[in-house]
Amino acid sequence: LSPRAAMEEEVLCAVNANTFEDSAVFARDRGLDHNAVVGVLNRLAAFEFVNLAPIQNNSWELTDEAQHYVTVGTPEAQVFNAIPEEGIAMADLQGKVDTGVAKIGFAQGMQQKWFRVDKTQGSRVYRKVESIVDTVREMLLELQRANGAFEALNKANTDLLKRRQLIRAVSLTSFKVSKGPKFAMTLKKEATDLTAEMIASDSWKEETFKGYNFNARGLQPPSGYLHPLLKVKAAFREIFLEMGFEEMPTNNYVESSFWNFDALFQPQAHPARDLHDTFFLSDPAAATQIPEDYMACVKEVHEVGGYGSIGYRCAWKEEEARKNIMRTHTTAVSARMLRKLAQNGFQPAKYFSIDRVFRNETLDATHLAEFHQIEGVACDRGICLRDLLGLMATFFEKMGMPKLRFKPAYNPYTEPSMEIFAWHSGLNKWIEVGNSGMFRPEMLRPMGLPEDVHVLGWGLSLERPTMILYEIKNMRALFGHRVDINMIRENPICRLEY
Amino acid sequence: QGQMPVIYVVAENLFSLLGKTLNDKELEDICFEFGLEVETTTYKDMPHRDIVEEYKEDELVFKVEVPANRIDLLCVEGLAEAMRCYLQLAEPSIFKVVPLEKKETIIVEESCNQIRPFIVGAVLRGVKFNPKNYNSFISLQDKLHENYCRKRTLVAIGTHDLDTIKGPITYKALPPKEIIFTALHQTKDMDVTELFSVLEKDLKLRNYLGIIRDSPVYPVIYDAEGHVLSLPPIINGERTKLKMTTTNVFIESTATDLSRAKANLQALVCMFAQYCEKPFTVEPVEVVAVDKSVHQYPDLTYKEMKLDIDYAKQLSGVDDLQPADIQKYLLKMGMHSKPAEDGKMVVEIPPTRGDILHQCDIIEDLIIGYGINRIPARLPKTHTIGKQLPINMFSDLIRREFAFAGFDECVTFSLISKEDQSNCFLKPLDTKEVVQIKNPKTAEFQIIRTSMLPSILKCVSANRTAKLPLKIFEVNDVVKKDPESDTGASNQRNVCAAFSNTKSGLENIHGLLDLLMLKLKIPFSSDNGYSLRAAQEDHFMKGLQADILFHGEPIGQMGIIHPEVLKKFEISYPV
């Protein structure tokens, strides 16, 4: 018989004999845990085996400290016992009993005039009485015997114990138990699950099933989880694919300054080319292969212009262009793709990529040294700003941002350039969501693209929309080895609805 | 990328120059359409107050973010000029160089070619300074120095009181010991070596010392009496310094990039010529170059550029643009234009607009004048088929299988420290394989990972309080040196997974490998599938590690991470 079943049986016997007056008494008399008894009573009550009538009990409970004194005596008694006939130096007393005990015990004993101190011999303590009665301990014992009943001690003594924090008031609800409408001496065991055996034997017909606990949490299925950043990346890839864009091969983190800057008509004196902003490589420090004829065209357009442009009119150094860097944007790959397009005989194209880019940053809540850039590029003959606005409208509407406005901006390789702002209904304000523009002729024409081919481009970071979507304030909580695995496990699916 | 310059303008000052008062919302909307970002703040929060002006602490101040190419908007004067035109309150100001019989002359000596070859100059005559415009003049030079002049490396400006200077002026380069003068805010003559040791303590100037420090000769500008005007690009002389009482301003500007120096000077003088005795005029300065050719600066001619209306329509998609509309919109943007005989437009580019290189730049202004947000959107007719990059598609399929198998995905950095690498592999860096960063700001980013194992171990370490077992993976690129690639390095897509529990349980990782191969339909076979072969790496435990072979060739490894490695990563459970 399980302890629980044994307890059930005992309870039912007592109820049957009409002797169950108080569950607290019942538990104490049998040395049972009252909570366990109440558990059993509730269960029996749920089956209407018994009726419960609550009884409020207020009583004193001995604190842990008091429990201890009941066993070893109060501090004052301990100190008294530690003082020999011939007295003891105050300092030595500390060694014979615990410091805390000595302190309390000495103070209490002095109050009771159990000791005297002789200062002539350098604070020596003597017994003042021959023997003592440890009254406080007696009180505690008394209270314990009376199960903490309020009436066990008079007010003065109660106050004394309270003051010394030896007792505290507790209130307990116990129950008077009587037979319920369905009282019986045995409680049938309930089934929690329907089993195959029950189905086979038809025994489910006789079973009572324990009600399911709808307040508890269910069992979590074993599973692994995808990273939130890449879930959002997947959602953006789908948008591009739905819109007919082709993914670019962006799997080259190392890029030459040539493709990253020069090909984009970014002047060699541009601040982005500072050591301060960009990771340069010490090994391999320089790119070995740059198409010579194309490089000559790029040099010319920078130095003296062409295609209707006056150029930057300052010296352009090949050495600077060959410097390898960690690419600062995926537009370096777009440049490679556009040049390939020009070389292979122009065909209209729409490209996209979502991949890593690098900036020589000191990390903080909104800056990382690497992050993901989302980029879209569309090129065709006669394609224009209106088309760019149309692509933006579709793209951001699919992201759940149907309301856009554009601010003119500056970008060395696009003209016109625009920052994209979207109305965020949750935040109730316009937020900047990306950059866009039309690539400059100084970038496109040296590649060999025909004059009437225009190229539209736009970009945004993957981290920012992810942080907004999942309400993550610190970028480092999203990307990198310090990310909390539990965040990944609990992170909801990505639906791009702001 | 590339910080946008920010300027602070006192509202009252802006509105008085503009001749119109706007409320915050109006100003914000106008600026937005024009391409400026505005925030309101107060005088109290305005940085760099060099000269005390009589403003209340809570005086309204606008913080304006200016596009990096528009150096003509870096002061309140320029901003007001642009907005006056944009709001059609006035026509663009016309800037002129007054013809002069006798001009100030700067003679350039050959020694300058060794360090800072170019110099340009101009004179502003009869300027009336007050605290407002004096402050603006000083702070514009700061803004130009910081942004367009690339922290004085490309161009540096020096402004002087012309009445303290006796021409002609000489620009040369000398060894620092031979240059002796009293520099701005100094009390005695010093040679430049000594001066540098003093300026080393100057929080602002010490940033520029490096531009010339290591050169055997330093650039210096002398007047006819041998007084030093300035030691560009570092500091001016005390003797010729500009004061609020100065009326005739001499401006010199030295450079390594002449085009930029000219554009910079043009913008600077145009902004402040309005305070001259004859407003909007500038007096020229003559520069005698090393080859004895004579050049006059500044060049305030309005260059003509042709604008092809059809091209403008093609680029913008606004099909009904008429010459009159173009005239109107360009005038809003500060540019006069007129129809030409060939059906195109001739546009006069103000000398302040060094950013206009091609007619597409004019078209952008035209579009801003028209209003970008007025242009109707449409979808392009370009028909293309969506297509995924095969390797990315494949990676995504593998990622999903790993997650289905109960592993959680990590996304970690590609850049790691050399220490991470050596802690993980217990051997020195393989410089034949590893790509190294030259200038990382922090030691965290010294190399690009050649394996994802260090990152995964850092992940395990950072998640040491997570519920065990910890099962994580990453599918991502590593980078290795590659002579075949045009840059000398190429990416490689890898997968890495880790299992960590109170006991190692290598069979869990082994099982994941088997699952991966099952999903890829690769049989367990040493000839035509995958197999395992005992390996001997220091970072795995002896006898508890294997090379993963595909058709007999190693493609990966698995094993129990050596406790020495775990200790270095502060991991207390087996991995």
User: Is 60 exceeded by the pLDDT of residue B167?
Assistant: yes
DSSP state of B108: E
Contact between residue A106 and residue A123 where contact means Cβ atoms under 8 Å apart: no
Q: Give the pLDDT score at A427.
A: 85
Do A480 and B485 count as a contact with CB atoms less than 8 A apart? no
Q: pLDDT category, A177, cuts 50, 70, 90?
A: very high
Contact between residue A233 and residue A354 where contact means Cβ atoms under 8 Å apart: yes
Lowest mean pLDDT among A23-37, A248-262, A334-348, B271-285: A23-37
Q: What is the pLDDT of residues A212-267, one digit of tens each?
A: 888 889 998 889 999 999 999 999 999 999 999 999 999 999 999 999 999 999 99
Q: What is the mean pLDDT of residues A78-82?
A: 87
Three-state SS string over B32-93 comes to HHHCCEEEEEEHHHCCCCCCCCCCCCCCEEEEEECCCCCHHHCCHHHHHHHHHHHCCCCCCC
Q: pLDDT category, A1, cuts 50, 70, 90?
A: low
How many angstroms separate the CA atoms of B63 and B43, rounded?
10
Nearest Cβ partner of A441 from B358, B414, B435?
B358
Closest CA relative to residue A127, chosen from A110, A103, A102: A110
How many angstroms separate the CA atoms of B61 and B40, rounded?
6
pTM: 0.80
How many angstroms separate the CA atoms of A455 and A379, rounded?
4
Do A415 and B363 count as a contact with CB atoms less than 8 A apart? yes
The two counts, helices (H) then strands (E), for chain B are 14, 28
> DSSP per residue over A428-458, as a string?
TEEEEEEEEEEE-HHHHGGGT--TTEEEEEE
B250: Cβ contacts below 8 Å, ≥ 6 apart:
B104, B121, B123, B159, B160, B161, B162, B165, B229, B240, B285
Closest CA relative to residue A121, chosen from A167, A144, A90, A161: A90
Q: What is the pLDDT of residues A94-113, one digit of tens each?
A: 778 887 788 888 888 888 88
C-alpha radius of gyration, chain A, whole number = 42
Q: Give the pLDDT score at B48.
A: 64
Strand order in the sheet with B37-42: B6-10, B60-65, B37-42
Q: Which two tokens stand for residue A403?
A: 């309301």
How many angstroms separate the CA atoms of B541 and B88, rounded?
78
User: Is 60 exceeded by the pLDDT of residue B50?
Assistant: no
Write the burial class of residue B390 (CB in 10 Å: 0-12 exposed, 13-18 middle, 19+ buried). Answer: exposed
Q: Is A350 on the interface with B (CB under 8 A)?
A: yes
How many angstroms separate the CA atoms of A262 and A239, rounded?
31
Do A416 and B455 count as a contact with CB atoms less than 8 A apart? no
- Mutation target among A250, A253, A325 for the B interface, most CBs of B within 10 A: A253
Distance from CA of A198 to the nearest CA of B (A): 34
Q: What is the pLDDT of residues B104-147, one digit of tens each?
A: 999 999 999 999 999 999 999 999 998 888 988 998 999 999 88
Q: What is the mean pLDDT of residues A68-74?
A: 88
How many angstroms separate the CA atoms of B556 and B348, rounded?
66
Do B466 and A324 count as a contact with CB atoms less than 8 A apart? no
Do A356 and B364 count as a contact with CB atoms less than 8 A apart? no
Closest alpha carbon within chain B to A327: B487
Report B:205-244 residues touching A (Cβ under 8 A).
none
Distance from CA of B502 to the nearest CA of A (A): 18
Contact between residue A422 and residue A403 where contact means Cβ atoms under 8 Å apart: yes
Do B315 and A223 count as a contact with CB atoms less than 8 A apart? no
How many angstroms separate the CA atoms of A195 and B241, rounded?
98
How many angstroms separate the CA atoms of B374 and B367, rounded?
9
Q: pLDDT category, A404, cuts 50, 70, 90?
A: very high
Report A:425-454 residues touching B (Cβ under 8 A).
438, 440-442, 452, 454
Closest CA relative to residue B450, chosen from B430, B428, B467: B430
Across chain A, which distance is largest between two alpha carbons, in Å?
A: 118
Report B:374-413 residues touching A (Cβ under 8 A).
375-389, 391-392, 396, 399-400, 402-413
How many angstroms separate the CA atoms of B194 and A392, rounded?
59
Could you tell me the sign of the dihedral formed by the alpha carbons of B131, B134, B139, B142, in that order?
negative
Contact between residue A408 and residue A437 where contact means Cβ atoms under 8 Å apart: no
How many angstroms separate the CA atoms of B70 and B87, rounded?
18
Q: Give the pLDDT score at A495.
A: 87
How many angstroms separate the CA atoms of B43 and B38, rounded?
15
Q: Give the pLDDT score at A146.
A: 83
Distance from CA of B117 to the nearest CA of A (A): 13
| Alpha-carbon dihedral angle through residues A95, A100, A103, A107, given to the nearest 10 degrees | -140
What is the helix (H) or strand (E) element at residue A408, kind and residue range? strand A404-411
Q: Is A384 on the interface with B (CB under 8 A)?
A: yes
Distance from CA of A319 to the nearest CA of B (A): 14
Q: Is B126 on the interface with A (CB under 8 A)?
A: no
User: Is 50 exceeded by the pLDDT of residue A195?
Assistant: yes
Q: What is the pLDDT of residues A124-160, one digit of tens each?
A: 888 888 888 888 898 888 888 887 888 888 888 888 8
User: What's the angle, vertex CA A113, arms to CA A111 and CA A115, rounded to 5?
Assistant: 110
Closest alpha carbon within chain A to B307: A308
Distance from CA of A212 to the nearest CA of B (A): 28
Write the burial class of residue B145 (CB in 10 Å: 0-12 exposed, 13-18 middle, 19+ buried). Answer: buried
User: Is 80 exceeded by the pLDDT of residue B352?
Assistant: yes
Nearest Cβ partner of B361 from A224, A277, A415?
A415
Beta strand B60-65 with B37-42 is: antiparallel
Distance from CA of A410 to the nearest CA of B (A): 5
- In which residue are the tokens 């129950």 written? A175
Size of interface A-B (CB pairs under 8 A): 315
Q: What is the mean pLDDT of residues B432-457?
A: 95
Contact between residue B426 and residue B565 where contact means Cβ atoms under 8 Å apart: yes
CA B325 to chain CA centroid, Å, is 35
Q: Give the pLDDT score at A497.
A: 67
Closest CA relative to residue A234, chosen from B395, B456, B479: B395
Nearest Cβ partner of B375 from A356, A389, A483?
A389
Contact between residue A475 and residue A463 where contact means Cβ atoms under 8 Å apart: yes
Do A230 and B411 count as a contact with CB atoms less than 8 A apart? yes
Q: What is the pLDDT of residues B523-539, one digit of tens each?
A: 999 999 999 999 999 99
Q: Give the pLDDT score at A292.
A: 95
- Mutation target among A270, A364, A485 for the B interface, most CBs of B within 10 A: A485
Q: Which residues of chain B make contact with A288, given a CB cutoff of 8 A?
A: 483, 486-488
Beta bridge partners of A378: A350, A456
Distance from CA of B130 to the nearest CA of A (A): 33
Closest alpha carbon within chain A to B71: A410
How many angstroms separate the CA atoms of B366 and B368, rounded?
5
| Predicted complex ipTM | 0.91
Q: Which two tokens stand for residue A429?
A: 């304000």
Nearest Cβ partner of A281 from B147, B437, B473?
B437
Q: Which two tokens stand for residue B125?
A: 């005559």
Share of chain A above pLDDT 70, in %: 99
B42: Cβ contacts below 8 Å, ≥ 6 apart:
B57, B58, B59, B60, B61
Do B409 and A279 count as a contact with CB atoms less than 8 A apart? no
> DSSP per residue over B498-534, as a string?
EEESSS--HHHHHHHHHHHHHHTT--B-TTTSEEEEE
Closest alpha carbon within chain A to B432: A283
User: Is 90 exceeded by the pLDDT of residue A329?
Assistant: yes
Contact between residue B287 and residue B168 where contact means Cβ atoms under 8 Å apart: no
User: Is 70 exceeded by the pLDDT of residue B258?
Assistant: yes
Three-state SS string over B238-300 comes to CCCECCCCCCCEEEEEEECCHHHHHHHHHHHHHHHHHHCCCCCEEEEEEEECCCCCEEEECCC
Long-range contacts of B510-516 (CB under 8 A, 24+ apart): B510/B558, B512/B402, B512/B405, B512/B407, B513/B548, B513/B558, B515/B401, B515/B405, B516/B398, B516/B401, B516/B402
Could you tell me the sign of the dihedral formed by the alpha carbons of A39, A40, A42, A47, in that order?
positive
Q: Give the pLDDT score at B1.
A: 42
CA B294 to chain CA centroid, Å, is 35
Q: Which residues of chain A make contact with B375, given a CB cutoff of 8 A?
A: 385-386, 389
User: Is 70 exceeded by the pLDDT of residue A498?
Assistant: no
Q: Is B445 on the interface with A (CB under 8 A)?
A: yes
Q: Count Cβ neighbours within 10 Å for each residue of A348-361 and write b for 16 or more, e otherwise.
A: bbbbbbbbbbbbbb
Contact between residue B124 and residue B251 where contact means Cβ atoms under 8 Å apart: yes
Do A390 and B315 count as a contact with CB atoms less than 8 A apart? no
Q: Is A302 on the interface with B (CB under 8 A)?
A: no
If you average pLDDT over each of A36-45, A252-261, A268-277, B99-108, which comes out highest? A252-261
Three-state SS string over B369-405 comes to HHCHHHCCCCCCCCCCCCECCHHHHHHHHHHHHHHHC
A84: Cβ contacts below 8 Å, ≥ 6 apart:
none
Write the burial class of residue A111 (CB in 10 Å: 0-12 exposed, 13-18 middle, 19+ buried). Answer: exposed
How many angstroms separate the CA atoms of A436 and B50, rounded?
38
The two counts, helices (H) then strands (E), for chain A are 19, 15
Closest CA relative to residue A37, chosen from A58, A15, A18, A16: A15
Distance from CA of B236 to the nearest CA of A (A): 25
DSSP state of B467: P
Do B388 and A387 count as a contact with CB atoms less than 8 A apart? no
Closest alpha carbon within chain A to B494: A251
Q: Which residues of chain B make contact with A311, given a CB cutoff of 8 A?
A: 357
Report A:396-425 residues touching B (Cβ under 8 A).
405-410, 412, 415-418
Do B438 and A361 count as a contact with CB atoms less than 8 A apart? no
